[in-house]
Chain A
Amino acid sequence: MAHLTALSIASDEELIREFCHGDRELAAAQFVRRYQRFVYSVAYRYLGRHEDAQDAAQEVFLKAFEHLHRFERRSTIRTWLYRITVRVALSMLRQRKRAQWLPWDEAFSGDEEPQATTLSPDQAHEREEFNRYFHTVLSNLPEKQRETFVLRYMEGLSYEEISQMLGTSIGGLKANYFLAVRKIANALLNGPYGEYFRQASQKPNGDDPHTIQP
């Protein structure tokens, strides 16, 4: 079994150097730990099922290990991984003939893992339900808007990096980001959890909640 020893390699450059010429295993462990959430979340957005996302992420990292020594540094590692992940996820979708995201009932059958949090069972269930709903909200967005939103808002990437990943101009990305944020806010305010979100957007003086243009 691979051993995971703490290793702190500051930059991606150092990580690649260590992987190619130094302690391969430790560098690989660090590499996966650094990008596992990113790769997993991209795969999950495309595949819509945690089991599939796990498989895809594993395949992505194995492919990355195979080709890391040939990484040309024309983009960042994250951009490179993003492209591999999308390719792997789309190929998995093609293989499984799932051209669209799975409905949640199907998507979550049998791949539940117990929550390792301090939430009560009710709270945990509620949160689980919300996460499913939010994933549906995301999945209903056009792909470019969804990816722009997730990469900018959730991953905190720069527009330059997202532009490299998606092949869209920065102006286009900003427009997509705005449309995505507007649609998500609208969906949350008017969906099954609307009450909860409307309370949040209630004006302090008790007036009607703020409105968002559809």
Chain B
Amino acid sequence: MSEALELGINALRGQMDTRAMSYFSSCVRCGICAEACLFYTETGDARYTPIYKTEPLRKLWKREYTFWGKLASKMGLLKPMTESDLSDWEELVYDGCSMCSRCSMVCPVGVDIAYLIRKAKEGLSAAGFSPADLVAAGERADRIGSPMGVTSHTLNATIRVQEKETGLPVPLDVQGAEYLVLLSSGEIAGFPEFIGSLAKIFKATGISWTLSSEYFEATNTGVQLGNSKLAAKLVERIVTVAEKLDIKTVVSPECGHAYTTIRWDAPNFIGRPLPFNVVHVMELLDQLRQQGRLKTKGYTEERLSYHDPCNAGRRGGVLDQPRNLLKMVAPNFVELPESGDMNWCCGGGGGVSSNERANPLRLKVFDAKKRQLDAAKPEGLVTACSNCRHMLEDGLEHNHMYDVELLGVTELIAEHLVDGDEA
């Protein structure tokens, strides 16, 4: 057995738990999960059937945890796992799955297939069968602190521009601030106005907040790779800066997987509860709305729809909050068909967006989103995830859908904000 295979199999063994074994013992191979997966519905390729993507883990389970598997292995009737049992699944797991969990919502026996795929990733990653781009992003995240190579210098420069544009200070490294706002590199590079929008909203609502120059990155490439050690290391950096600044609540930015990671997975990665609360920026803004502190004026007449980021919505529970906020400013809001917890993914989650090799497939499966947009015919599409926004931009451009404007919820609210003086 090669070293890579041994590492992969050992990593898969470490993933086996009662939940995974229950899933494998209850799956009836009905194939319904395929009908929920945009990688299958848009390509018609049966290999993209979600449960098929879990084969590396299932093979190990069958071989080492079932009566027939153990018996057949001992009698030499079951072939041992080979490197191809892992390497052949790299493309399916990393390029052909955005970890959107839509499949997990429809399985009649209740299998959370995304949970199993995430576990399979651990084996592939340990064996070295991960896309080079994602591995490189992981190395940058580890070395620089950002998968895109965004440094604190870049952040400082971006902050200065936003301060100039808004005329408001953007607090940095403020000891004892109530909220520490994390950012994604994609936001800093692509949608820096998010920072200015927060500055406006937090000033108007009297929120004490800060960014950290020491560590600001909310995304976690370890999660996307299926490398729990890296994931834990990146989470620890957030914990360290939050503790250093004596932060009560950490705010996840408009990024789906960043939220799921820091809100739900982080304590499990580091093996202890977090010493602070975590909220998605949508949750915080909605809380401020409920408290009457966040007030808006005027409306946008545009017919707007909301794209639910899979990780924030389906896997994170942030479904109502952005809609509550949009109701404040968008009277002509219209739901996409199959929205909310059954929304179709943008195609770029789970690290697919960082994997250039997957681009043609990602743009192909964007057809699912295109169908939603064609049905609802919105003039503007709002979302609360910078990665989704990049992917939506790409998909709309690819499909020549130039009439659909893309917006972030936070910026839209900031545009209609009643500031403190007006209030």
Instruction: Verify that A and B bind, or say they do not.
Output: no
